[in-house]
Amino acid sequence: MQPATETGLIGRPLPKTPALLGIARRLIWWMAPEEGLEERSLFLAQVMTLGTWDDVMSVRAELGESVLRATLSHPPPGIFDLQSWQYWHRVFGLDSVPPLPRRKL
């Protein structure tokens, strides 16, 4: 499969590949893996916060780096921890790290 930047996957439902379904099964345990992939920003934020290096590399290989970058632009509130939030901003060379997204109660 071509990375997301080449196939236009940004903003579209994630493909239900065996690798992504396996990751969703482990990281979004409270829903069926197929449902987890339908919640793209949740899935990607979970990978970036709780995933292993292999999970991140699998997602990057399947979807491309731009999908991970886009997750930082429109993150779901309450998923990223401070360490992961800062790490990914540094990985992508983003000098300014905004405050963590917060849930509205």
Between 77 and 3, the more confident residue is 77
Provide the pLDDT for residue 57: 97
Instruction: Report the distance separating Cα 46 and Cα 78, nearest Å.
Output: 10
Which residue's structure tokens are 């793209």?
Answer: 40
pLDDT tens sequence across 33-47: 999 999 999 999 999
Q: How confident is the model at residue 11 (pLDDT cuts 50, 70, 90)?
A: low
pLDDT tens sequence across 26-85: 999 999 999 999 999 999 999 999 999 999 999 999 999 999 999 999 899 999 999 999
